[in-house]
């Protein structure tokens, strides 16, 4: 939030937020269906169908491309034994289908099919069960369902995502303050004070990316953390779109470590910092809901800008605290933060329009409710920042604002792991 003692920017910000809220409600009222995870669209045989003879294979078609190596299908016959061949094949030209051959032991009765599909774009898994019968329905045999989540594994994965975002904020925000907010009279000790949070941020981004790479596979399968050493799961994760984005993030971090400091000392330091920030932020956009659905290029740009603005705002607040709220730094950061908040509002508006799809979905779906919570916390943070100049000490207000930004990041992590709402 802009840390400024003049009321005009605050009035402009309040007006912008009011217009944003009004636009959001209007757009949601007009919006169509939103993008989703890999949901099952159809199957052959169809769920509940009765066929005259056992089919040679079963085929599942999903709403988007799936990763075979992180997907599973299990078919249990009427006698309680597995009848699938176990090896999945791609079906369909878009990579959105899975086929598995059956053993060909003629049986009559009801077959149970359990499936788990991992989306190729963001690595999130969905699962379900369907049945079909040969000849006539019969009592179904018990089967073990896929996709039951391991809470510890999921928690570690969420923590890794949060750690990466928080680290990006430290890395980007403190660098932005160093480049644009230090007074001309600042000595080298000012930049030295910001060096430690920048290094901490770089380390956090790297650690979060590595943990995600190793935990993503077990998380999609509902496995415990003991499976993080499973090379096949790691190889499968690296072959996905999400794995490519994480690998690119690690390469970019290596580039930052190798040439970042020398670049910042040159006249083109600002341009280099902006390009590296956008590149890093794009790796989060590529693993978000923006990577599927309609108008993907525009969604990726919006999400990249959203993540970048979050990093400048949140990390800049840390820099203000590190520099003990020096008035000249606060005044310069105020303008930078105002721009970041406006970018956050605009891109957040577009994301909500795209992913929620309708006013009813705001309260009727988990994704919509999380989005409302994020919006409420965001508004509360703005209110705290405005009050910091009238009723609260500046330093205390900055700390409260920083705590609010941390909560926003936490809700953002939960949104990333939640399927978008349907219109």
Strand partners, 58: 100
| Mean pLDDT of the chain, nearest integer | 79
> Do 25 and 62 belong to one domain?
no
Using a CB cutoff of 8 Å and minimum separation of 24, what contacts does 85-90 make?
none
49 Cβ neighbours under 8 A, 6+ residues apart: 132, 133
Lowest-confidence range among 38-47, 258-267, 273-282? Answer: 258-267
If asked whether residues 287 and 409 sit together in one domain, one would say yes
Residues constituting the chain: 423
* Domain span including residue 266: 7-30+150-416
Evaluate whether residue 379 is within a structural domain.
yes
Distances (CA, A) of 239 to 213, 217, 225, 236, 400: 11, 11, 20, 5, 41
Confidence of residue 193 (pLDDT cuts 50, 70, 90): confident
* Domain-located, residue 422: no
Nearest alpha carbon to residue 131 among 139, 122, 119: 139
Global pTM value = 0.77
pLDDT of residue 389: 52
Instruction: Tell me: do 214 and 279 sit in the same domain.
Output: yes
Q: SS3 for 89?
A: strand
Host H or E run for residue 254: helix 241-264
**Predicted local distance difference test score (pLDDT) of residue 24:** 44
Asked whether residue 235 is domain-assigned, the answer is: yes
Q: So what's the pLDDT on residue 239?
A: 82
Q: What is the pLDDT of residues 266-325, one digit of tens each?
A: 666 788 889 999 999 999 988 887 777 677 788 889 999 999 999 999 999 888 888 876
Q: 27-31, 306-310, 342-346, 372-376 — which is least confidently predicted?
A: 27-31
Assess if residue 143 is contained within a domain.
Answer: no
Q: Are residues 115 and 177 in the same domain?
A: no
Longest dimension (CA), the chain: 87
Whether 368 is in a domain gets the answer yes
Q: In whole angstroms, what is the distance from residue 161 CA to residue 295 CA?
A: 25
Per the structure, how many domains does the chain have? 2
Q: Is 181 helix (H, G, I), strand (E, B) or coil?
A: coil
pLDDT of 148 reads 65
Q: Which two tokens stand for residue 86?
A: 């176990």
As a whole number, mean pLDDT of residues 366-371 equals 82
Domain co-membership, 237 together with 347: yes
Strand runs labelled E in 92-226: 97-102, 109-118, 125-134
Beta bridge partners of 117: 126
Which pLDDT score, from 0 to 100, does residue 166 have? 92
């Amino acid at each position: 939030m802009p840390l400024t003692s003049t009321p005009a920017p605050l009035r402009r910000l309040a007006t912008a937020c009011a217009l944003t809220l009004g636009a959001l409600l209007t757009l949601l009222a007009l919006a169509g269906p939103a993008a989703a995870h890999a949901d099952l669209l159809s199957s052959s045989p169809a769920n509940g169908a009765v066929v005259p003879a056992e089919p040679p294979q079963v085929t599942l078609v999903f709403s988007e491309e799936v990763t075979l190596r992180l997907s599973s299908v299990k078919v249990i016959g009427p006698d309680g034994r597995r009848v699938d061949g176990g090896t999945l094949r791609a079906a369909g030209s878009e990579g959105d289908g899975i086929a598995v051959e059956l053993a060909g032991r003629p049986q009559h009765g009801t077959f149970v099919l359990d499936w788990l599909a991992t989306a190729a774009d963001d690595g999130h898994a969905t699962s379900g069960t369907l049945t079909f019968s040969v000849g006539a329905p019969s009592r179904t045999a018990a089967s073990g369902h896929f996709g039951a989540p391991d809470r510890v594994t999921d928690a570690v994965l969420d923590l890794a995502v949060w750690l990466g975002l928080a680290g990006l904020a430290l890395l980007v925000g403190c660098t932005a303050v160093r480049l644009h907010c230090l007074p001309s009279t600042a000595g080298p000790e000012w930049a030295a004070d910001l060096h430690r949070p920048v290094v901490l941020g770089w380390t956090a981004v790297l650690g979060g990316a590595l943990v995600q790479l190793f935990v993503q596979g077990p998380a999609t399968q509902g496995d415990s953390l003991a499976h993080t050493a499973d090379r096949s799961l790691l190889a499968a994760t690296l072959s996905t779109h999400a794995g490519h984005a994480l690998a690119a993030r690690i390469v970019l971090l290596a580039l930052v470590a190798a040439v970042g400091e020398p670049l910042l000392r040159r006249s083109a330091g600002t341009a280099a910092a902006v390009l590296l920030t956008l590149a890093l932020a794009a790796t989060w956009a590529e693993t978000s809901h923006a990577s599927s659905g309609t108008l993907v290029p525009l969604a990726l740009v919006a999400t990249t800008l959203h993540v970048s603005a979050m990093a400048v705002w949140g990390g800049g607040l840390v820099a203000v605290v590190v520099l003990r709220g020096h008035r000249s730094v606060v005044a310069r950061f105020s303008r930078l933060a105002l721009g970041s908040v406006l970018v956050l509002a605009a891109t957040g508006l577009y994301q909500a329009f795209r992913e929620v799809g309708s006013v009813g979905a705001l309260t009727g779906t988990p994704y919509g409710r999380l989005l409302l919570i994020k919006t409420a916390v965001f508004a509360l943070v703005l209110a705290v920042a405005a009050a910091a100049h009238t009723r609260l000490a500046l330093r205390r207000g900055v700390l409260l604002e920083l705590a609010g930004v941390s909560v926003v990041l936490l809700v953002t992590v939960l949104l990333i792991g939640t399927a978008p709402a349907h219109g």
